[in-house]
Structure formats: structure tokens, C-alpha cells
Amino acid sequence: MRQLIAAAVQISCTDDVEANIEKLELHVREAARRGAQLVVLQELFEGLYFCVDEDRRHDARARPLAGHPTVSRMSALARETGTVLPVSLFERDGARLFNTLVMIDADGKVLGHYRKSHIPDSPGYSEKFYFADGDTGFRVFETAAGKVGTGVCWDQWFPEAARAMVLMGAEVLIYPTAIGSEPSYPGWDSRDHWQRVMQGHAGANLTPVIAANRTGAEKGRTGDMIFYGSSFIADHTGAKLAEADRVCDCVITAALDLDEIASARRGWGVFRDRRFDLYGALMQPTPERLLAMA
């Protein structure tokens, strides 16, 4: 039996980087005390979710990965706690800016990085204004906690990404996230839809999912956002094993038997019976009829 204790941390953020990181450190240490080997942190936790506005001054938040102070600090924390830490950052690579996840192993070693593939562009989530499309392709990292497939926020809405990562060997899928208010649809609460989509990835791929969202109200120059937390861990059937509420700064944990899950994945037949010869439509551009707004 290969047991993985997985954790997700959610916090509310201010624009004080030091305060945010100190808060996360407390929760990572708490997760480690509970036996966690993999601790998923939320998207862009260093500061406020600046993508609510389109303001070139926010570009100054981006830093190169080499010598990045938050990566160095999280590496030390991973080594101290013996936990695998995926770290979400605003990366500068020359003239290009990316929404990037750095995977840090339990000994503090940086295993590599993944650049967010799917970039949203809607009121409140103006990420295309800041981030280039990711150029790493989907990534699966072999860590001390197992083989971890990494998506970031909007990636979680695409079943193709989840399936690709599992075909690449992922034993668990993670999604650092920043989601809440929907300015395009005032009054609509997307929380349950958000969870169900990822629960579907878990069930369809017989692979657990860990999603870490942020919480709290954040005020931008052009609007406000209320993030709804509700971080969760789903098992390989899509059932939620642990779930945070909408507002707490907290950590959740759940135990996963990776060997038992691997056996179920092999035995269920969805990978045996894949008809990849019929999936050509997935390689074509989206039809115009699906792009037009009602």
C-alpha cells in the first residue's frame, strides 16, 4: 500500500507578500503535523488577484524564476516539513509573462515548472492582458508523494488536460485556483459547477483531484471580487473526501491509497477501451457555432 496524505490550503490574501507567505507557512506546517506529504496551495498567493483590473503597473509583480525569493522560501519550507509544495507565481521570462507553477519536492529541490495553458479573458478575470499562453505543455512531476499532474485554475475546466496528464502517468491531479464572483453574470454562484467539473475529471480518469481556492473579498480599481474558497479533495470516483467552507483560512487533508487506485484504474476499462482513432475532432479548432454568444 502506498498511502498518500494529501492536503489543500486556502487563505484570504492582502497585498502584503510577507504576511501572505507567513500565513501559508503556518498552514503548511499544520498540514505536515497531520501527516501530509503533498500540500496544494492556491493560485497567485503572493498578493491580491490583480487580474480583476487591466493595469500595466501590475507587470512589475512578475519575477524570473532564477533566484525567485518565494521559490527559495518555499523550498526551505518543503525541506523543513518534508512536503511536496506546488507554488503558483507570476513569472517574467524576458519580455514574456506567465502564470507559472513551480514544483518543489519534499527535499526542497525544484523539479521544474509548468506554465498555465488555458488563459481566461472575461470581466474580473482579465488574464490574457497579463499572461502569455503557456508553452511547457502539460506536466506530470515524479515527486516523493507520487506522480503529480499539474493544472492551474482555468485549466481545470478542460477535460482534455486532465485526460492527457493521466495518460502521461499522473497518479493525482492538482489545481491551484482563484475563482469567486462572476461579474459577467451577477448573482450566479459558480461554486457547485466548479467542483462538479473537477469531480468529473476524477471519476472519468479514476484519479484523485485536489483543488485549492482562495477566499476573501478583494477590491480592485475597477471592481471587487469575492472568492468562495470551498477547496476540496476528491477520490478516484469523484466523491469528495474533504472540503473547506467558503470563508475559512484553513487546511484540509485526506488519505489516498495510490496502489489501490492504480488497480481500479487498470481494471475499470476506460483506458483499455479508448477509441483514440475516433477523437480527431479534438484536434480541430472549436466550431464557430460554439463560439457565438447567445
On the question of pLDDT at 222 being above 80, the answer is yes
Nearest CA to 154 out of 132, 129, 183, 125 is that of 125
- CA-to-CA separations, 7 to 83, 272, 286, in angstroms, rounded: 10, 31, 36
The grid coordinates of residue 85 equal: 509544495
Place of cell 506530470: 140
Identify the pLDDT of residue 293.
59
pLDDT of 137-151, one tens digit each? 999 999 999 999 999
Backbone angles phi, psi at 17, to 5 degrees: -60, -45
Q: Is 126 helix (H, G, I), strand (E, B) or coil?
A: strand
On the question of pLDDT at 182 being above 60, the answer is yes
**Percent of residues, the chain, with pLDDT higher than 70:** 99
**CA–CA distance, 212 with 10 (Å, rounded to integer):** 6
Contact 211, 163 (CB under 8 A): no
Contact 96, 134 (CB under 8 A): no
Half-sphere exposure of 264 (CA within 13 A, CB side): 17
Residues in the chain: 294
pTM tops 0.85, yes or no: yes
pLDDT of 117-136, one tens digit each? 999 999 999 999 999 999 99
Identify the pLDDT of residue 140.
98
The residues annotated as belonging to the active site are 43, 116, 153
